[in-house]
Amino acid sequence: MVDTTSFTLPESPEVLAVAEPPTRALLVLRSNVVAGQLTINGKEYGATRLDLDLEQGQYDVTISKPGFKPSVTESPLIRFA
């Protein structure tokens, strides 16, 4: 039989750390036009087929290539836990 009548707390209870919410997210870009040039908020990132680790936030994303109409998108970037 187990004695359940007495219970004592430790002198210094453990404190559990709470993880901060993530502030970065992965932006995965693919294009149906080979080697489309990617610009985010005015900064050139090179040819498409990119995976970028960026801060969460609002981004103006443009994919362009000579001879094609540019694709312009305003994209929120949010990491889902």
**Torsion sign (Cα): 70, 71, 75, 81:** negative
Name the pTM for this structure.
0.64
What six digits make up the tokens of 43? 């900064």
Domain residue ranges in the chain: 24-77
* pLDDT at position 23: 82
pLDDT in tens, 49-58: 899 999 888 8
Q: For residue 66, is pLDDT > 60? A: yes
Cα 26 to chain centroid, rounded = 4
H/E stretch holding 72 reads strand 71-77
